[in-house]
C-alpha cells in the first residue's frame, strides 16, 4: 500500500483531509430536500447550515445553553428557555439563507418582543449582547 500524506492516524481510527468534523449541525445536512419532514418543509441549504455554524461561533461564555433544531421554513432555530415553568422567558432566534437572523423574546406574561432582523456577519454579535447582557 502506498503512503498517502492526506491520511492520518488518530487514536484508534483513520481520517482523511476531506473528512468533516461532526457538530450539532451535521445531521441537518440531510434536510436539503423539499418536504424532509413529510409535511411540506423547505430544504435546509448548505448556506443556512454554514450561517448557523457562524452564528454559533459568536456565542460568548455567558450565554446559557441552547437547543438547536431545523425549521420547516428552511431555517435553523436556536431556543433558550430561561427561568422556571411559572416564570419562563423564551428567546427564539432563527438563522436562514444568506445569514439572515430573526429574533424574538417571549416573556413570562407572553409579551413578544421582536428584534430588528440582521445578518450573521454584520449585526448578530450586537443582537446577542442586547439579548444576553453580561
Considering the entire predicted model, what is its pTM? Answer: 0.81
Question: How far is 83 from 76, CA to CA, in rounded Å?
Answer: 23
Whether 5 is in a domain gets the answer no
- 65-90 pLDDT, tens digit per residue, is 999 999 999 999 999 999 887 889 99
- 3-23 pLDDT, tens digit per residue, is 444 444 444 444 444 445 578
| Residue 25: other Cβ atoms inside 10 A | 17
DSSP state of 83: E
Predicted confidence at residue 133, as pLDDT, reads: 83
Share of the chain above pLDDT 90, in %: 71
Whether 65 is in a domain gets the answer yes
91 DSSP β-pair partners: 80, 105
Count of the separate structural domains present in the chain: 1
Whether 12 is in a domain gets the answer no
Domain that holds residue 79: 24-131
Whether 7 is in a domain gets the answer no
Amino acid at each position: 500500500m502506498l503512503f498517502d500524506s492526506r491520511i492520518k492516524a488518530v487514536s484508534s481510527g483513520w481520517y482523511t483531509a476531506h473528512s468533516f468534523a461532526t457538530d450539532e449541525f451535521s445531521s441537518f445536512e440531510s434536510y436539503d430536500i423539499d418536504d424532509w419532514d413529510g409535511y411540506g418543509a423547505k430544504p435546509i441549504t448548505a448556506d443556512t447550515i454554514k450561517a448557523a455554524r457562524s452564528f454559533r461561533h459568536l456565542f460568548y461564555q455567558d450565554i446559557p445553553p441552547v437547543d438547536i433544531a431545523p425549521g420547516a421554513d428552511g431555517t435553523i432555530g436556536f431556543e433558550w428557555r430561561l427561568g422556571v415553568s411559572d416564570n419562563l422567558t423564551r428567546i427564539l432566534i432563527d438563522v436562514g439563507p444568506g445569514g439572515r437572523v430573526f429574533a424574538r423574546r417571549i416573556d413570562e406574561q407572553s409579551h413578544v418582543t421582536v428584534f430588528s432582523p440582521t445578518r450573521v456577519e454584520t449585526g448578530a454579535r450586537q443582537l446577542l449582547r442586547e439579548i444576553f447582557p453580561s
